């Protein structure tokens, strides 16, 4: 950040928090619990007071590119480059089954960046007929693939934001992270799913490699059983405070404006 300021030579450096008090002359004040876009909006408010906050994500040019073509496939994104936000093969298999039940005859494409943490667990799978693995490493090739999608299902990853911005109906299954912070309140055709016992809380156990919260949410949404047990979770996992039976219940929110915050 210091190097950016040196090259930018800005007359009024503003940061979204007070992390660099000797470098930035101004900083915004953020509440303890805030949405993903709140830091940027707080900085904008410093020089454009009263600017209305957006309540949805849209990229009209990319959405128009999708609208010009035919949508012939369903996209699944099981990997987020963070083990505690990745679906395991069983969760992916359950979601493939659900998608094929809901949208029979549609091709299913599983998108994975091979460089992401945990990608190997998906790359080695053999998929049934009609399900295709699509690897990618650059945004332009992913945009071309997304333009052909009828719907999107995945974990909490930046690839959801691209789908939403292109107007693709998207369902995000959350584990340790907070849906109200990620899914904008008036995003059309957006659905989020999470274990009910987690409420709106964020999980601080960042070293988790077997996210029962996520795998159970996928399983319950798909009407399947999860292969992960409480014994597989880290000792500090907040789910250990609940009975195994209590973990079957999920919350499903369908936008627009059906979020708790």
Do 107 and 42 share a structural domain?
Answer: no
Do 115 and 20 share a structural domain?
Answer: no
Give the domain extent around 203.
Answer: 60-254
Q: 190 or 18: whose pLDDT is higher?
A: 190
Q: How does residue 204 score in pLDDT terms, banded at 50, 70 and 90?
A: very high
pLDDT at residue 149 is higher than 80: yes
Do 226 and 124 share a structural domain?
Answer: yes
pLDDT at residue 246 is higher than 70: yes
Do 160 and 32 share a structural domain?
Answer: no
Q: How does residue 129 score in pLDDT terms, banded at 50, 70 and 90?
A: very high
Q: 257 or 182: whose pLDDT is higher?
A: 182
pLDDT in tens, 14-44: 888 888 888 888 888 887 778 888 898 988 9
Q: Please give the pLDDT value at position 260.
A: 47
C-beta of residue 238 within 8 angstroms of C-beta of residue 203: yes
Handedness of CA 134, 212, 205, 175 (dihedral sign): positive
pLDDT in tens, 233-245: 999 999 999 988 8
Assess if residue 236 is contained within a domain.
yes
Q: What is the dihedral of CA 166, 169, 175, 177, to 10 degrees?
A: 40
Assess if residue 259 is contained within a domain.
no
pLDDT in tens, 74-128: 999 999 989 999 999 999 999 999 999 999 999 999 999 999 999 999 999 999 9
Do 217 and 129 share a structural domain?
Answer: yes
Please count the structural domains in the chain.
Answer: 2
Cβ atoms < 10 Å from Cβ of 209: 12
Q: The CATH number of the domain where 110 resides is what? A: 3.40.50.2000
Cβ atoms < 10 Å from Cβ of 77: 27
């Amino acid at each position: 950040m210091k190097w950016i300021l040196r090259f930018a030579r800005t007359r009024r450096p503003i940061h979204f928090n007070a992390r660099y008090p000797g470098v930035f002359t101004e900083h915004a004040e953020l509440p303890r619990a805030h949405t993903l876009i709140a830091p940027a909006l707080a900085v904008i408010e410093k020089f454009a007071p009263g600017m209305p906050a957006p309540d949805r994500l849209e990229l009209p040019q990319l959405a128009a590119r999708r609208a010009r073509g035919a949508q012939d496939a369903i996209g699944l994104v099981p990997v987020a480059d963070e083990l505690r936000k990745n679906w395991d093969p069983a969760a992916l298999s359950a979601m493939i089954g659900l998608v094929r039940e809901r949208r029979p005859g549609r091709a299913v494409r599983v998108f994975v960046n091979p460089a992401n943490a945990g990608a190997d667990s998906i790359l080695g799978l053999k998929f049934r007929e009609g399900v295709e693995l699509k690897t990618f490493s650059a945004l332009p090739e992913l945009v071309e693939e997304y333009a052909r999608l009828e719907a999107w299902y995945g974990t909490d990853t930046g690839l959801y934001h691209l789908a939403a911005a292109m107007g693709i109906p998207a369902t995000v299954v959350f584990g340790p992270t907070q849906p109200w912070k990620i899914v904008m309140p008036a995003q059309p055709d957006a659905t989020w799913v999470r274990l009910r016992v987690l409420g709106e809380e964020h999980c601080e156990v960042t070293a988790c490699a077997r996210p029962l919260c996520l795998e159970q949410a996928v399983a319950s949404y798909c009407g399947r059983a999860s292969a992960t047990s409480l014994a597989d979770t880290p000792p500090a996992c907040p789910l250990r405070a609940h009975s195994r039976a209590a973990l079957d219940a999920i919350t499903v929110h369908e936008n627009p404006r059906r979020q708790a915050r």
